[in-house]
Amino acid sequence: MHMEILDVSPELAAEWLGRNTSNRPLSKGTVQQLAAQIQRGEWQLTHQGIAFDEDDVLIDGQHRLAAIVKAGVAVPLTVTHGVPRTAFTVMDTGRKRTGRDTLALVGEANATHLAAALRGLHLYLHVPNSAWSGGSSTTSNDQLLVMLEKHPGIRDSLQHGMALNRACRITVTAATIGWYVTTETRPDIDQTSWRDGIITGALLESGDPRLTLRNTMLSLASGKAHRRRDDSREHLLYYLKSWNAWVEGRSMKLLRRSPNETMPRISNHAVAVGTSTGA
């Protein structure tokens, strides 16, 4: 068995795929994800590459090769020849490194929640509502690190998100994204009363968007509502709808999600609540 490092062109990758006679079914979603990483320049050479057995049959790396073909870009690969055919049963059986692992390795606190919030923020900012599930919603570990570099304020927002989760069971992901995008878009608004109202519910009258959001989330958490209690996309939609109503001074006694309803954007209407200048 011997190894070498080669720049594998789309043409060579297509040729080698012709030797793929005894491999597992090809996942189109995985190919799309890898191709997108190649096109974004995220590809890095590692010990993981492709492998041929004693008869020069491809036994590992079909998704990498198919991604090179799809991306139309040559990348360096570790190529191993003469791998015993019996080794196929133990290939790719290790645990994949997750976004949480990546963030923890660079020293980030609350890495699990932070990874989920960064992924959700990426979807909110860059992905159409119709594509928030399936392969197109997958976010690479490199993308998470880039998102964190561009949006460092998400760390502080995560603390607010965790506090709101403890108070009314809205998912940490939804509350973190909601807090971040509203404070970034409308820095003129002091959100203290928004946060405190949701956390305590004290002295809020019926129709106050903060109370409606609080009660809706608690109802979902109790299982009384016939909806998923942990759907961060739905929770974010409720958060933003409530926040917009609060900013605009509108009463809101009921929160619901209509079929195919798109994610709300932040209201730019006249502020009907306290601002950072005390207005």
Q: How does pLDDT run across 33-56, given as a tens digit for each residue?
A: 899 999 999 999 988 899 999 999
Q: What is the pLDDT of residues 95-135, one digit of tens each?
A: 677 899 889 888 999 999 999 999 999 999 988 665 566 55
Q: What is the mean pLDDT of residues 185-202?
A: 96
Per the CB < 8 A criterion, the answer to whether 80 and 2 are in contact is yes
Rounded distance between C-alpha atoms, residue 246 and residue 206, angstroms = 13
Nearest to 235, CA basis, from 264, 202, 267: 264
pLDDT in tens, 252-279: 999 988 888 889 999 988 565 654 433 3
**Per-residue pLDDT, 132:** 64
Q: What share of the chain is helix, strand, coil (3-state, %, to 5)?
A: 50, 10, 40
């690190």: which residue's tokens? 145
The dihedral over CA atoms of 264, 268, 270, 275, expressed in degrees to the nearest 10, equals: 100
pTM, entire model: 0.72
Q: Strand pairing partners for 77?
A: 6
Q: d(Cα 246, Cα 255) in Å, to the nearest integer? A: 13
| Least reliable range by pLDDT among 25-29, 42-46, 53-57, 190-194 | 25-29
> CA-to-CA distance for 204 and 201, rounded, in angstroms?
6
Cα–Cα distance, 93 to 88 (Å, whole number): 10
Residue type, 4: E
Q: Bridge-partner residues for 52, per DSSP? A: 58
Among residues 89, 94, 149, the alpha carbon closest in space to that of 118 is found at: 149
Could you tell me how far CA 47 lies from the centroid of its own chain? 27
CB 127 within 8 A of CB 136: yes
